[in-house]
Chain A
């Protein structure tokens, strides 16, 4: 059992994009705010703050979920990946990010980090999804710019090129 009292600040440590990081917060602090304000991971975007828009989606232990519906203290000790952890060293975008650029899968970009984190998890579990499966997964994200077509195309493109690479074509 571990208690985090209301009237104190608590040290919370996480593995953020492979780096051990820690910061202080209250028991009631949302993980989204902790990542942005304490750890500087401002790629975590905050939209609706009640789990509808999907902009704050991060991977916790690899699994895509809403950081606005998780308390920072509840994520203490967990492995967290945000959009900052996607790109490789240097200026290399990940294949997923490159596909988003190629397919015009973003305009204003506010929803993009959350979508990328969902897709990173989704493709790890469903490597060759149908368009219907991709669209079902995307219902958890709101994008008001693109109309989703470019996003769907980018995801299917990445899935297909990864699967070709796997089979050595």
Chain B
């Protein structure tokens, strides 16, 4: 349970980090909080030649409101965002999701961007970003681009990020008046990986429902506001289109059951 040999480089800025990514190519990995990457290194599931640590890069350490979005830099920890005094007004969905993310001690070091870049299908932050229709800002030595979650998340631990790109920041849209948000999940133990997680945003015009932990990426559906029977039909269709699998944590049938039940509970509460 020790990492294989590696070079460790502390980058003092995003520019340095991008130069190092260009130098190492696929052999370089960005380290921020390390709460997902370090276990993978310890178990030798990942053996990069070099770790490029951005945790102390000052230009990545900011979280701020910009252009209607909460923009969170790559070095900002989950605990820092969770403690924002106005988070309940800014991105209320995150207030509900944070307690489910790992534990107090891992949120202290784990970063928001790191969870997005890691792209675990059962992780809470990718699901929230997908439901809210946020953005992922990528930077390399040759330029910048911004992707929507539907473009970025491609499969389990697989994203559209190119090997020479850094997730520079992620952007969560600020809540608009009239929107209501909800998050719930079922896990074996508090802080464990979710068997099914459900995030929702309901406004006067629409319902957005996202499911994590079942498909290989965060899965989002948009509907107009629905009556009871139509909602049941929509949720049942969603439960089946996720193509749930049996695994050692839960059966496919149980996962479909959770999608229908948790989804119904959340939407009924938010439409009420």
B109 touches A136 (CB 8 A): no
In the complex, what residues of B have CB within 8 A of residue A30's CB? 2-3, 42
With contacts A1-B11, A6-B6 taken as known, whether A49 is within 8 angstroms of B34 at the C-beta atoms is: no
B105 touches A74 (CB 8 A): no
In the complex, what residues of A have CB within 8 A of residue B51's CB? 71
B2 touches A28 (CB 8 A): yes
Can you name the residue of chain A whose Cβ is closest to the Cβ of B99?
A: A136
B38 touches A51 (CB 8 A): yes
In the complex, what residues of A have CB within 8 A of residue B154's CB? none
A4 touches B190 (CB 8 A): no
With contacts A74-B10, A139-B190 taken as known, whether A50 is within 8 angstroms of B1 at the C-beta atoms is: yes
In the complex, what residues of B have CB within 8 A of residue A66's CB? 35, 105-106, 109
> B77 CB to closest chain A CB, in angstroms?
9
Q: Does B232 contact A (CB under 8 A)?
A: no
Q: Does B53 contact A (CB under 8 A)?
A: yes
Q: Does B66 contact A (CB under 8 A)?
A: no
Q: Does A82 contact B (CB under 8 A)?
A: no
B42 touches A65 (CB 8 A): no
What sequence of 0s and 1s flags, for each residue 72-84 of chain A, a beta carbon within 8 Å of any chain B beta carbon? 0110000000000
Q: Does A26 contact B (CB under 8 A)?
A: yes
Interface of A is mostly: mixed
* Those of A129-159 within 8 Å (CB) of chain B: 136-137, 139-141
A26 touches B5 (CB 8 A): yes
Q: How far is the CA of A66 from the CA of B63 in the complex (A)?
A: 24
A139 touches B189 (CB 8 A): yes
Report the contact-size class of chain B (Cβ under 8 Å from the partner).
35 or more
B108 touches A64 (CB 8 A): yes
B104 touches A64 (CB 8 A): yes
B109 touches A49 (CB 8 A): no
Q: How far is the CA of A68 from the CA of B2 in the complex (A)?
A: 9
* Those of A37-64 within 8 Å (CB) of chain B: 49-51, 54, 57, 63-64
Q: How far is the CA of A142 from the CA of B35 in the complex (A)?
A: 17
Q: Does B258 contact A (CB under 8 A)?
A: no
What sequence of 0s and 1s flags, for each residue 50-68 of chain B, a beta carbon within 8 Å of any chain A beta carbon? 0101010000000000000
* Those of B86-134 within 8 Å (CB) of chain A: 99, 102-106, 108-109
What would be 13 A-B contacts, judged by CB atoms less than 8 Å apart? Answer: A3-B7, A4-B7, A7-B5, A27-B7, A49-B1, A51-B106, A63-B108, A65-B109, A66-B109, A70-B109, A71-B8, A71-B51, A136-B99
A residues lining the B interface (CB < 8 Å): 1-7, 26-28, 30, 33, 49-51, 54, 57, 63-66, 68-71, 73-74, 118, 121-122, 136-137, 139-141
B residues lining the A interface (CB < 8 Å): 1-12, 16, 20, 31, 34-35, 38-39, 41-43, 49, 51, 53, 55, 79, 99, 102-106, 108-109, 189-191
Given contact pairs A49-B42, A74-B55, a sample of 19 additional A-B residue pairs in the complex whose CB atoms are under 8 Å apart: A1-B16, A3-B7, A4-B8, A6-B6, A27-B8, A30-B2, A49-B1, A51-B35, A64-B104, A65-B109, A66-B106, A69-B35, A69-B38, A69-B106, A71-B8, A74-B53, A118-B104, A136-B104, A140-B105
